[in-house]
């Protein structure tokens, strides 16, 4: 996902821009660039393919570019391959307007053809450059930069977060957003725009979350906000409450390991404010019993690991609510003419709150009359702001591309929501309710106990890291949990793996099991342990090497058959996946470590996918 930063103030802009881009490296990128307005040389642009250190070398750490107004960008390619020309900032033909963009301009080709017919020369293959050239076209027409921005925004279709500077406006930084996040930071030495607070938190915690359709004009000492009709708006300030260290490694080798280790605290932060005197209290979400009884179908919609949270929650919610729960991939849902109506409750799950597929699916559900509840980790994110209701996971900033603590906090928050709805529907007994609440409150300590023995997982990873294909098998909740274990391994170690319902193996896929095949057998769901056990025997009979994950009660029996056993504490079945997933996260981490992979920034991946 691209990262944007802009600065206008009373100190040199270039070093501030480079520092901010560096703090957004985690978002994933393939090229970077900055543009600074100089008193004597107009707009100076430096941009290149590759890591930020290449850009820093080309600008002597920013010292080569003098000026107190500038913009910067890290690009994750969507239109046009990663190279110097396609890198941002993009500049208008005569060099007086520079722009950085995050998002996709869906009608860029027709606009580009129009401009080419007007004689405009393009230098890149990107959709973003079209916006820069169109700005110049309208600026030349009307002579006023803000008016030109308004005209351009009325013509482009798609998603954008824009940072714009113009050589004719030495003190103004213009920003606009639609469907791509953009925040304004109000600092001592000047004002900022950025894709997220990580880029500017060392300068200021005083931020303004821009809304869709808004335009901002920043100077060193002022921020003016306008709506899409250029009417002035009152800026609503917020304070970023997490500290810089939370967005830094804190002594760990990788953000991913740090975030695995932070899970007990993240889960505790997410649940404890929501359990008061033994009752689940859900912030400012006010479902009534009458509303709950009127729900005909529940949809859980997400992507990736958040989708896997939905898979686990389906089993738990259907058991608790006795209502049909449908889990949908957001990218499929939005084009499936879904059977959604005003009696549907649609829960969208997203760590970043910016995943375009999930955002689009939510909009489609709203359009069809559904009530939407967002479970999101990033405060003020687009999905959070557009949903009818939002419940935040309080995992703190998650930097590693491969999610862990956000997944775990989503999982437990979904358990709480399910319990809350079950109580409204009267489908859960008081005894079951209390047992689940008690189990939730014990979860952080039980996670800590697992994390005290990471070396056990490290040991097995050192035995198995050379495999090039791995199966994760399980039944019911174990199968749903296995989906996440498999994705973790794939995305950071690049080993092909798949999660399979173990009862389904015999219907074809077991033909792939041969001597030496690694099978991670998940058997923490006690009610089906015997079935899981027989599936272990089944794959062992074909020569598989089995690493089992089970609970203490079953470890002795499992040790008689599996080649290796990892044991996790036992808890209420609803919560069991929250514990079983931790060794799977660690296994993926240690295997990737053994294989020398770029654990925090895996190839081809981005932390949040804000494109289709």
- Choose, from 49, 314, 405, 607, the residue flagged as catalytic: 607
Backbone φ, ψ for residue 69 (5° rounding): -130, 130
- Choose, from 2, 166, 186, 597, the residue flagged as catalytic: 2
Selected from 126, 214, 382, 608, the binder of ligand AGP by CB under 6 A is: 608
Look up 366 and say whether it is catalytic. no
Structural element, H or E, at residue 6 = strand 3-9
Residue 148 beta carbon to ligand AGP: minimum distance, rounded to whole angstroms:
34
Instruction: For ligand AGP, give the closer residue by CB, 66 or 490.
Output: 490
Instruction: For ligand AGP, give the closer residue by CB, 211 or 354.
Output: 354
Q: Is 31 in the site for ligand AGP (CB under 6 A)?
A: no
Instruction: For ligand AGP, give the closer residue by CB, 8 or 375.
Output: 375
Instruction: For ligand AGP, give the closer residue by CB, 192 or 407.
Output: 407
Write the CA distances from 382 to 155, 453, 612, integer angstroms: 22, 39, 16
Q: Is 305 in the site for ligand AGP (CB under 6 A)?
A: yes
Q: Is 198 in the site for ligand AGP (CB under 6 A)?
A: no
Selected from 152, 402, 416, 544, the binder of ligand AGP by CB under 6 A is: 402
Residue 83 beta carbon to ligand AGP: minimum distance, rounded to whole angstroms:
25
Q: Within 10 A of 27 (CB to CB), how many other CB atoms are there?
A: 25
Nearest in space to 230 (alpha carbons), one of 216, 220, 218: 216
Residue 397 beta carbon to ligand AGP: minimum distance, rounded to whole angstroms:
12
Q: Is 609 in the site for ligand AGP (CB under 6 A)?
A: yes
Residue 376 beta carbon to ligand AGP: minimum distance, rounded to whole angstroms:
8
Q: Is 256 in the site for ligand AGP (CB under 6 A)?
A: no
Which residue's C-beta sits nearest to ligand AGP?
Answer: 304
Q: Is 316 in the site for ligand AGP (CB under 6 A)?
A: no
| DSSP letter for each residue of 144-201 | -HHHHHHHHHHH--B-EEEEEEETT-TT-EEEEEEBS--EEEE-SSEEEEESSGGGTT
The 3 state secondary structure assigned to 38-94 is ECCCEEEEEEEECCHHHHHHHCHHHCCCCCCEEEEEEECCCCCCCCCCCCCCEECCC
Stretch that binds ligand AGP, among 97-105, 346-354, 416-424, 460-468 (CB under 6 A): 346-354
Structural element, H or E, at residue 425 = helix 405-425
Nearest in space to 406 (alpha carbons), one of 416, 415, 414, 397: 397
* First-residue to last-residue Cα distance in the chain: 12
Selected from 86, 126, 350, 393, the binder of ligand AGP by CB under 6 A is: 350
Residue 582 beta carbon to ligand AGP: minimum distance, rounded to whole angstroms:
15
Bridge partners of 217, per DSSP, are 174, 224
Stretch that binds ligand AGP, among 107-115, 396-404, 531-539, 543-551 (CB under 6 A): 396-404
Q: Is the distance from CB of 88 to CB of 100 less than 8 angstroms?
A: yes
- Residue 151 CA to residue 134 CA, distance in Å, equals 9
User: What is the pattern of x (binds ligand AGP, CB under 6 A) and - over residues 358-377?
Assistant: x-------------------
- Residue 305 CA to residue 408 CA, distance in Å, equals 10
Backbone φ, ψ for residue 510 (5° rounding): -65, -15
Selected from 352, 523, 550, 578, the binder of ligand AGP by CB under 6 A is: 352
Q: Is the distance from CB of 419 to CB of 572 less than 8 angstroms?
A: no
Selected from 304, 310, 396, 580, the binder of ligand AGP by CB under 6 A is: 304
Selected from 44, 180, 198, 351, the binder of ligand AGP by CB under 6 A is: 351
- Residue 89 CA to residue 154 CA, distance in Å, equals 22
Instruction: For ligand AGP, give the closer residue by CB, 16 or 104.
Output: 104
Q: Is 401 in the site for ligand AGP (CB under 6 A)?
A: yes
Nearest in space to 490 (alpha carbons), one of 578, 597, 606: 597
| Residue 514 token pair | 């041969």
In total, the chain counts a number of residues equal to 612
Nearest in space to 411 (alpha carbons), one of 590, 585, 277: 585
Q: How many residues bind ligand AGP (CB under 6 A)?
A: 15
Look up 607 and say whether it is catalytic. yes
Given the DSSP bridges, would you call strands 344-350 and 371-376 parallel, antiparallel or unpaired? parallel
Backbone φ, ψ for residue 346 (5° rounding): -110, 120
Stretch that binds ligand AGP, among 156-164, 271-279, 300-308, 592-600 (CB under 6 A): 300-308
Q: Which residue has the tokens 């290796």?
A: 564
Instruction: For ligand AGP, give the closer residue by CB, 551 or 610.
Output: 610
- Residue 207 CA to residue 216 CA, distance in Å, equals 13
Instruction: For ligand AGP, give the closer residue by CB, 326 or 355.
Output: 355
Instruction: For ligand AGP, give the closer residue by CB, 211 or 491.
Output: 491
Q: Is 398 in the site for ligand AGP (CB under 6 A)?
A: no
Residue 260 beta carbon to ligand AGP: minimum distance, rounded to whole angstroms:
12
For the segment 487-526, give every residue that binds ligand AGP (CB under 6 A): 491
Stretch that binds ligand AGP, among 204-212, 310-318, 345-353, 463-471 (CB under 6 A): 345-353
Residue 301 beta carbon to ligand AGP: minimum distance, rounded to whole angstroms:
10
Q: Is 309 in the site for ligand AGP (CB under 6 A)?
A: no
Instruction: For ligand AGP, give the closer residue by CB, 152 or 400.
Output: 400
Q: Is the distance from CB of 202 to CB of 244 less than 8 angstroms?
A: yes
- Residue 412 CA to residue 326 CA, distance in Å, equals 19
Residue 102 beta carbon to ligand AGP: minimum distance, rounded to whole angstroms:
15
Selected from 92, 133, 306, 409, the binder of ligand AGP by CB under 6 A is: 306
Contact footprint for ligand AGP (CB under 6 A): 303-306, 350-352, 355, 358, 401-403, 491, 608-609
Q: Which residues are catalytic?
A: 2, 607
């Amino acid at each position: 996902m691209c990262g944007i930063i802009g600065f206008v103030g009373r100190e040199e802009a270039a070093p501030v821009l480079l520092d901010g881009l560096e703090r957004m490296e985690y978002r994933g990128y393939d090229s970077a660039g900055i543009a600074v307005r100089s008193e004597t040389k107009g707009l100076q642009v430096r941009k290149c393919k590759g890591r930020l250190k290449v850009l820093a070398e080309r600008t002597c750490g920013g010292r080569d570019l003098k000026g107190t107004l500038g913009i910067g960008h890290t690009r994750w390619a969507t239109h046009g391959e990663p190279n110097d020309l396609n890198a941002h900032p993009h500049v208008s033909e005569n060099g007086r307007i520079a722009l950085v963009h995050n998002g996709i301009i869906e009608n860029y080709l027709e606009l580009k053809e129009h401009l080419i017919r007007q004689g405009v020369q393009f230098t890149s293959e990107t959709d973003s450059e079209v916006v820069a050239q169109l700005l110049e076209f309208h600026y030349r027409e009307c002579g006023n930069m803000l008016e030109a921005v308004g005209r351009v925004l009325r013509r482009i279709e798609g998603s954008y977060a824009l940072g714009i500077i113009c050589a004719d406006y030495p003190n103004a930084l213009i920003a606009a957003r639609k469907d791509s996040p953009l925040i304004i930071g109000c600092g001592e030495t000047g004002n900022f725009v950025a894709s997220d607070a990580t880029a500017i938190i060392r300068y200021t915690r005083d931020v303004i979350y821009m809304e869709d359709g808004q335009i901002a004009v920043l100077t060193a000492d002022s921020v003016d906000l306008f709506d899409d009709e250029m009417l002035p708006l009152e800026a609503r300030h917020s304070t970023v409450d997490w500290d810089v260290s939370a967005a830094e490694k804190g002594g760990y080798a990788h953000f991913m390991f740090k975030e695995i280790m932070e899970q007990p605290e993240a889960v505790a932060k997410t649940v404890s404010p929501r359990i008061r005197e033994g009752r689940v209290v859900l912030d400012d979400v006010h479902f009534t019993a009458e509303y709950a009884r009127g729900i005909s179908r529940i949809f859980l919609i997400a992507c990736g690991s958040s989708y896997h949270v939905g898979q686990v929650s389906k089993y738990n919610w259907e058991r608790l609510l006795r209502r049909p729960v449908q889990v949908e991939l957001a990218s499929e849902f939005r084009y499936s003419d879904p059977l959604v109506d005003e009696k549907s409750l649609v829960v969208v799950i997203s760590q970043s709150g910016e995943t375009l597929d999930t955002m689009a699916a939510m909009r489609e559900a709203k359009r069809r009359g559904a009530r939407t509840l967002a479970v999101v980790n990033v405060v003020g994110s687009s999905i959070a702001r557009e949903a009818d209701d939002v419940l935040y996971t309080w995992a703190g900033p998650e930097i590693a591309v491969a999610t862990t603590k956000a997944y775990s906090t989503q999982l437990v928050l979904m358990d709480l929501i399910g319990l809350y709805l079950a109580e409204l529907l009267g489908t859960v007994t008081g005894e079951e309710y209390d047992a689940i609440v008690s189990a939730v409150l014990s979860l952080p300590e039980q996670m800590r106990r697992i994390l005290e023995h990471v070396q056990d997982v490290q040991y097995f990873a050192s035995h198995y890291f050379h495999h090039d294909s791995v199966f994760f098998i399980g039944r019911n909740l174990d199968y749903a949990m296995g989906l996440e274990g498999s994705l973790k391994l794939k995305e950071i170690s690049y080993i092909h793996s798949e999660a399979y319902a173990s009862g389904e193996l015999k219907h074809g896929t077991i033909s792939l099991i041969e001597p030496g095949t690694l099978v991670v057998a998940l058997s923490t769901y006690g009610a089906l342990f015997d079935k899981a056990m027989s599936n272990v025997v089944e794959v062992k009979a074909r020569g598989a090497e089995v690493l089992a994950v089970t609970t203490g009660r079953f470890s002795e029996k499992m040790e008689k058959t599996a080649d290796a056993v990892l044991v996790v504490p036992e808890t209420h079945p609803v919560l069991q996946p929250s514990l079983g997933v931790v060794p799977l996260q660690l296994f993926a981490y240690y295997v990737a470590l053994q294989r020398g992979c770029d654990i925090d920034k895996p190839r081809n991946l981005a932390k949040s996918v804000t494109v289709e």
